[in-house]
Amino acid sequence: MPWGFCKSLSRNSFPLSENSSPSRTPEIERPSHDATVQAIQFRLKELGYNVTLADGFLGSRTRAAIEAYQRDQGLAVDGDANVALLRRLEFVAQNNNNSKPKDISALPFNPKEQQLQTPDNSYINSGGWHCKAGYRKVGNDCTEIIPPANAYISGKIWQCKTGYRKIAGGCEEISIPTNGYLSGGDWQCKTGYRKIAGGCEEINIPTNGYLSGGDWQCKTGYIKVGDKCMQN
C-alpha cells in the first residue's frame, strides 16, 4: 500500500468530533476563607493557644486549639469554629481588656450553635445542665448542700440518720419510750402495748378476751361491756 494513501487515511478517515476536546485534569476544590474562623484564630492566639496564623482556614492546628480551649473551659469538646464560640471568646477578650473586641453583631447567629454555659460543680445531660451530687440549683449556680449534724446527703437533699427526724432544719434524736421500738422515722409500741401520752401503756386483756392489733377483742360468744367480756 502506498505511503501517501496511508498518510491520507490517518488524517481523514477518523476525524475528531466538533465536541471533542483534550481531556483536562479536574481542578481541586480549595477550602474557602471564613471570617468567623479567622476571628476565632485571632482570639485563641491572644489567649496563648497554639495558632500559628489567623488566616481564616480551619485546619488541624486550629481545630486542636479550639478543642484545647473547650476542655479548659469545661465545654463540650467538638472542635467546631462557630459563631457561639466566637461570641464567647469576644466576651473573654472584652473582660480581659486585651484589645478592643470586634463588632460581631452583623455575623449570623444561630441559637442552636450556642455553647451551653454551665456553672461550677455541674454536668451536662439531656440538653441541659444539672448539679453534681451534694449540690443543688440556686438560680444559675450550684450551691453545696451542707447537712446538719446527724444527717447525710442523698442525691440533691439531706436526710436524717436512723434514730433521728427532721425538726426545724436539723435532725432531732427520736426518744423511744419504754416498751417502744424504732420504726422508720418514728417510734411504735411493742405488741401488747399502745401509745398513750408519749409513752407505751400495757393493754389489759380481760377474761375471755384476746389481743388484736393495738387493742383487745372478745372471743366468740362474748361481747364488750366496758373493760370486760360478757357472755352473749
* Sequence letter at residue 104: I
Q: What is the pLDDT, as a whole number, of residue 22?
A: 53
Within a 10 A sphere around the Cβ of 185, how many other Cβ atoms? 13
CA-closest candidate to residue 135, choices 158, 117, 118: 158
Statement: the pTM of the whole predicted model exceeds 0.85: no
- DSSP 8-state code for residue 19: T
Write out the three cell numbers for 167: 425538726
| Fold of the domain spanning 35-115 | Muramoyl-pentapeptide Carboxypeptidase; domain 1 (1.10.101)
Helix axes 35-46, 83-96, angle to 10 degrees: 40
> Is residue 35 a contact partner of residue 56, using CB atoms and an 8 Å limit?
yes
Q: How would you write the pLDDT of the chain (232 residues) with one tens digit per residue?
A: 555 544 554 455 545 444 555 555 555 455 667 889 999 999 898 888 888 888 888 889 999 999 989 888 888 889 898 989 998 888 887 776 544 444 444 444 444 444 557 788 887 776 678 888 888 888 889 999 999 999 998 877 889 999 999 988 899 999 999 999 998 778 999 999 999 888 999 999 999 999 987 789 999 999 999 999 999 8
Write out the three cell numbers for 79: 472542635
Kind and range of the H or E element at 178?
Answer: none
Distance of alpha carbon 154 from alpha carbon 22, whole angstroms:
77
3-state helix, strand, coil in the chain (%, to 5): 20, 30, 50
Q: What is the pLDDT, as a whole number, of residue 185?
A: 79
* Sequence letter at residue 116: L
Domain boundaries for CATH 1.10.101 within the chain? 35-115
DSSP-derived pairing of the beta strands 122-125 and 128-131: antiparallel
Find residue 158's DSSP bridge partners. Answer: 153
Cα-Cα-Cα-Cα dihedral sign, residues 11, 17, 19, 20: negative
